[in-house]
Amino acid sequence: MKKLVTLLLLVTGITAMGQTSDLFGAIKKTVSGGKGSSSSLSSTDIVAGLKQALTLGAEKSADRLSVVNGFLGNKAVEILMPEQAQKVEKTLRNMGMGKLVDDAIASMNHAAEDASKSAAPIFVNAIKNMTVTDGVNILKGPDTAATSYLRHSATPELTKAYTPVIDSALQKTGATKYWKEVFDTYNKIPLVTKVDPDLSSYVTQKAINGIFYYVAQEEILIRKDPAAQVTDLLKRVFGGKS
C-alpha cells in the first residue's frame, strides 16, 4: 500500500509538471528498487553475479552430496536400478537375492557420493564461459534459468570430465563387482533375455543430474531469499529484482 501511494504521488507530481517523458522511467525505477536494482547494473556486474551464484550453488551442492549417504536414501537424487534392469531387480528379489541388489544399489550411490567431491571445480570451469548475452537472458528468465543454461552448455564437458572420476569411484566402492554379480546371476537364469546396462554411463548421468538438482535449489534460494544473498554482488544482482 505504501509503495502504491508513493507511485500515485509520483505520477501526479510528474504529470502536473508536464514531464510525461520521464513518467515510465521513474515508475520503473521506483518499482524495481531505485539505484540498487538490477536495472542499474552493468552487464559485467550481472554476469559476475550469476557466475558467483552458480559457483556457490555448485560448491554447496557438491558438499551436500559428497557426504556418506548424500545420494543413498535421499529420495530426490537416489540412484536406483535403471529402467531396463528393473525386471532383473524384481526377479532376483523374488528369488531371495534382495541383498545382492541392495549392495549394488548402495555401491552405485556411494560411487556418486565419492565422485561429487571433485564436482565443484569441474562446474566452476564450465561457469567461466558465460557471456554477457547469456547473463542478461538468465537474469530475466525463470527461477532456474542459470541452472538450465549450465546444464545445456556444460553437460558434454561435465560428462567427459566426470566419467573417469565415476569409473574410479565405481571400482573403489565395489559397484563394478556388485553390478557384475547381479547381472551374471540373472543372466544364468534359464530362458531370460540377457541384460547388462552400461554401469559407468548410467551412474555418471545420475550423479550429474543430482548435482544439477541441488544447484537449481540453490539458485531459487539465492533469487528469492535475501539471507542466501551472502555477498554484496549477489544482493545487487538479485536483491533489487521486482
Residue ranges of domains in the chain: 1-31, 42-238
Could you count the other beta carbons within 10 Å of the beta carbon of residue 51? 18
Q: Which pLDDT belongs to residue 240?
A: 62
Phi-psi region of 42 (alpha: psi -120 to 50; beta: other; left: phi over 0): beta
C-alpha cell at 224: 528469492
Q: How does pLDDT run across 100-142, given as a tens digit for each residue?
A: 999 999 999 999 999 888 888 888 887 888 888 888 888 888 9
Question: Which of the two residues, 119 and 168, has the higher pLDDT score?
Answer: 168
Burial label, 126 (beta-carbon count in 10 A; 0-12, 13-18, 19+)? buried
**Among 51-65, 115-129, 183-197, which stretch is predicted with the lowest mean pLDDT?**
115-129
Among candidate residues 220, 236, 66, the one with its CA nearest the CA of residue 143: 220
Interatomic CA distance for residues 113 and 66, integer angstroms: 4
Instruction: Judge whether residue 218 has pLDDT over 70.
Output: yes
- pTM comes to 0.76
